[in-house]
Every structure is written in C-alpha cells, then in structure tokens.
C-alpha cells in the first residue's frame, strides 16, 4: 500500500517578514537552498516505490505559484485543493481525507507542512516506514522531534507507554503548549518529551471517523464543502460558503488531544519549522565567525549574525547577534533574541493600511510577473515579463492609459479590433477605455516596460472580458 503525501501550503509566515509576505509566503521562497521550501518538501516524498503523487492544500491566491513550482521540479500532483479562507489544519486535513477516501477507501495519508526543513532524509523515511506499520492497525501517528535544546518556540508531546516492541513508538500521554524556559529545561532533563512537529500519518477513514466523533461541526462543514467542490482548470475548488462556515481549529485541539489511538514516534531527523529568522540561521552553514550571509554582503568585525541582501549591497560593521534582511522596499534589523517580535511589525503595517506585508515589488501572475520600478503623481512604470505561450486577460481600464515598449521577445497585442505583432524596440499605446490584451506567441520570455498614466492606477481598475486562467 502506497502512502499519499498531503502537503499543507496555507501558511503566511509573518515571522519571516520582510521576505515572507501574504502573497509570497515562506513555503514558496528559496530560504535554505536554491529550491523553495514547497519544492523541497515535495521532492522529499518523490519516491514512486513508497509514495503516490502528492495532494496539496493551499489558498486560492497561491494556486498558480504552487502549480508552477511543482512543475519546475517535475512533480505532477494528484490534486490541488483550494481553501476559500484559512481555517487552520483540522479542516484542511479533513478535506484532504475526504478527497483521498473517495479515490481509495484504504488511503493512507502522510500530512506534511510545506515549510519545514528535514536534514536527515534517510532517518525521516525510516520513521515513515515505522508509522506505516502502526497506522494499518488504526493508530493516528504524529512525529515527535527529539529535542536538542530547551526551545520555547515549540509545543511539546509527552510520551506514554511503549508500544509495538519498538524503542521509538509510544502512546501519547499529553500535548503541552509552548512552555517558558524553565519548564522547557525541566522537560529536557526529565526526558520523554518531544517537540510537536505538526507532521502526521493515518488512514483517511480513521481520521474521518475521529473528527466526526471529536469535532462534528468541522466534519459536517468540510463534508458539505467537498460535496459542492468543483474543478477549476487543474484545481479542486472547495465550496466557499460551506468552508467559511467551518470552525477554525488545529488538528491537535480538534482530534489528537482527544483520541485514544494517538501514537508518537520519536524522530531524530534534523527537523526545523523555520519559524523565525534565528531558526533559519541555525539550519544554514555559518562562516568561522558564526555569520550566515546571502546576496551582495560586506561584513567587517561581525559575528553570529544573519545578513540577507535581495537587491543591493548591504554592509554591516562591528556588530554581533543581529538579523539584517534587505528587500527592494523594506529592511529589517533585529537582535536575534527578539526576532519573534517581527510579527508586531506586520501587525503595524496592517493597522496602518500599508502594503509591504502583502506583496513584494515583484508580483507574480499565472502568465509571468510584473515589478514596479517608478511611481509618482498620475504615473507609474512597471517591468513586465510574460512566459512563452502565455497571455494576459482581455481587459480594459476606466482610469488609465498604457504605453508598452518591448525590450526583448515578441508581443502580440490586441487593441480594440486591431491585432499587431511587436518586436524589440517597438512600442504601442493603449488609450483609456480601450479593450486590449498582451500575449507572448514566441518561445522566449517577453520583457517589456509599461508606463501607466491617469487619475487612478490601482490594480482593481481592471475589467476582464476573457481570461484563460478563469480569474474573475
């Protein structure tokens, strides 16, 4: 019996601002390697002998990025479920269980957050094999991480009775909320406590029975959401009203703290949930002074510091124990001991109706991306890239005109009832109110500069008449 990886890709990662943002959260970023965390997670379970193709659960806004990133690493998911709104892990896992159970009544689920680091892959696979034997007997298995420090950033699991004659599998005695430092030190000294990894394995039918017993409101709402789900291109879109009515709860609170079938496997797998900038520094290679650097960085007299430069040179002199992160529109400087407070910055931006917590200057679309490079009173300038064979929607604007200048590639432009082909150094003008479309008919990326002018330049001034991606 093969195992189906269920990859949860719905988080927003506010503690890794300014790199992680609402429309480009940490699981979609290359934080540790040159691949994104979602890609690393999918590749970790890309073993046709042991696993089926993955099932991914993500938010509607991330759907095209998730699909594209999986395509880039040669992985075709068996499905991508779209959550209309975030409702925590229990509803997400319940909808995945319903989806899989409909395909195979004996389906086994391996639930994996998309934004975790696992350095010891062989040890991880051994733990998975051990769990597979236990779930056949009806157990709901979680993977407890063998702690190496009294970390206060994780919840803990206390083990109970040894089961199955194995030295790594135990009944779950209790779940413990994130402790203070003294309590965490006590856990480490006493032994028998593990970090709560948020990874699980069970049969789909067993999980559905447990959630119906312990969280019937979630069970009913997710059942209705799945019954009214429909296909949207390559995605499975859950019913919005039914899913929005679902209570928000974690799998721990909804099921695992109540079930009598819970099992914890002690896993020493080099795990981190990369929940802060300090945690990210811990899973990367440091130089002789304990510094982790990426990008165009200059260091002088610096120690135990993480410096990440995304768009320009960053020079750091004579400091220690800091996190310095630069992006084109925001810079973070924090002491390592206070990186958990980064979420307060994000809250400040929300309250003041800023946008730096929502998106970067580069904004991704299913056809490619655009990047703001200049703006002023009644104008803004963007750099646009359209992937080969892709096209923007047929659209018009009430308040702005647009000038397009092709930098490289070939553009097929619709303007009213006229179509024209533009090459490098050629340009066109789109008047206010004119129906238009931009396409890339070539085999190379299309790069162009767009100059917008008008009384209102917001992205919501788009009236779509036709769209191959079925966006409203």
Phi-psi region for residue 283, left (φ > 0), alpha (ψ -120 to 50) or beta? alpha
Q: Give the containing element (helix H, strand E) for 368.
A: strand 368-376
* Burial status of residue 426 (CB atoms within 10 A of its CB: 0-12, 13-18, 19 or more): middle
Q: Hey, what domains does the chain have and what are their CATH numbers?
A: 3-272 (3.90.550.10), 284-348 (no CATH), 362-466 (2.60.120.10)
Question: In the block, which residue shows the tokens 């030295």?
Answer: 167
State how far the Cα of 284 lies from the Cα of 270, in Å rounded to an integer.
12
pLDDT tens for each residue of 27-84: 999 999 999 999 999 999 998 889 999 999 999 999 999 999 999 999 999 999 999 9
Shortest CA distance to 197 belongs to which of 253, 120, 264?
264
Tell me the pLDDT tens digit for each residue of 276-310.
999 999 999 999 999 999 999 999 999 999 999 99
Note the pLDDT of residue 311: 95
For range 247-257, the mean pLDDT: 96
Q: Is the pLDDT of residue 153 over 90?
A: no
> What are the residues whose beta carbons fall under 8 Å from the beta carbon of 67, sequence distance 6 or more?
77, 80, 234, 235
pLDDT value for 171: 96
**What does the pLDDT look like over 59-75, one tens digit per residue?**
999 999 999 999 999 99
| Residue-averaged pLDDT of the chain | 96
Q: What pLDDT does 48 receive?
A: 80
Is 166's pLDDT higher than 80? no
Compute the distance between CA of residue 315 and CA of residue 309 in angstroms, rounded to an integer: 10
- The percentage of the chain sitting over the pLDDT mark of 70, rounded to a whole number, equals 100
- In this prediction, residue 1 carries a pLDDT of 78
Per-residue confidence at 373, pLDDT binned at 50, 70, 90? very high
pLDDT of 62 reads: 95
pLDDT grade, residue 425 (50/70/90)?
very high
**What is the three-class DSSP state of 174?**
strand
Provide CB contacts within 8 A for 385, sequence distance 6+: 368, 369, 370, 445, 446, 447
* Separation between Cα atoms, residue 90 and residue 267, nearest integer Å: 23
Q: Is the pTM of this model over 0.85?
A: yes
């Amino acid at each position: 019996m093969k195992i189906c990886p269920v990859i949860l890709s719905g988080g927003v990662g506010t503690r890794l601002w300014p790199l992680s943002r609402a429309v480009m959260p940490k699981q979609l970023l290359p934080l540790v390697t040159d691949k994104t965390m979602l890609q690393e997670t999918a590749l970790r379970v890309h073993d046709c002998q042991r696993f089926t193709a993955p099932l991914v659960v993500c938010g509607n806004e991330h759907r095209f990025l998730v699909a594209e990133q999986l395509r880039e690493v040669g992985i075709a998911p068996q499905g991508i479920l779209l959550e209309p709104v975030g409702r925590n892990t229990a509803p997400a896992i319940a909808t995945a269980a319903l989806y899989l159970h409909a395909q195979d009544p004996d389906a086994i689920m391996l639930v994996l957050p998309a934004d975790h680091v696992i350095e010891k892959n062989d040890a991880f696979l051994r733990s998975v094999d051990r769990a597979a034997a236990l779930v056949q007997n009806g157990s709901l298995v979680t993977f407890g991480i063998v702690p190496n420090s009294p970390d206060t950033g994780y919840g803990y699991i206390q083990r109970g009775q040894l089961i199955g004659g194995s030295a790594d599998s135990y009944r779950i005695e209790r779940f413990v909320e994130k402790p203070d430092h003294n309590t965490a030190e006590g856990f480490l000294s006493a032994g028998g406590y593990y970090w709560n990894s948020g990874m699980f394995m069970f049969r789909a039918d067993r999980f559905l029975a447990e959630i119906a017993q312990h969280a019937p409101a979630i069970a009913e709402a997710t059942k209705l959401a799945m019954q009214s789900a429909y296909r949207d291109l390559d995605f499975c879109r859950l019913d919005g009203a039914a899913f929005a009515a679902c209570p928000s709860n974690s799998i721990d609170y909804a099921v695992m703290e109540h079930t009598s079938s819970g099992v914890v496997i002690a896993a020493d797998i080099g795990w981190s949930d990369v929940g802060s900038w300090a945690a990210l520094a811990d899973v990367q290679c440091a130089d002789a002074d304990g510094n982790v650097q990426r990008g165009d960085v200059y260091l002088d007299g610096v120690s135990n510091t993480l410096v990440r430069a995304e768009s320009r040179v960053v020079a750091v002199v004579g400091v220690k124990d800091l996190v310095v992160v630069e992006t084109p529109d925001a810079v973070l400087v924090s002491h390592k001991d206070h990186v958990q407070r980064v979420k307060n910055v994000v809250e400040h931006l929300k309250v003041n109706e800023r946008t730096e917590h929502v998106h970067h200057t580069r904004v991704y679309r299913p056809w490619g991306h655009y990047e703001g490079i200049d703006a002023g009173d009644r104008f803004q300038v963007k750099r646009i890239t359209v992937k080969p064979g892709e096209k923007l929607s047929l659209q018009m604007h009430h308040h702005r005109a647009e000038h397009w200048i092709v930098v490289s590639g070939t553009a097929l432009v619709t303007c009213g009832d006229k179509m024209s082909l533009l090459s490098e150094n050629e340009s066109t003008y789109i008047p206010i109110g004119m129906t238009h479309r931009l396409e890339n008919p070539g085999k190379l990326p299309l790069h162009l500069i767009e100059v917008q002018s008008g009384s209102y330049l917001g992205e919501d001034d788009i009236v779509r008449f036709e769209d191959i991606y079925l966006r409203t």
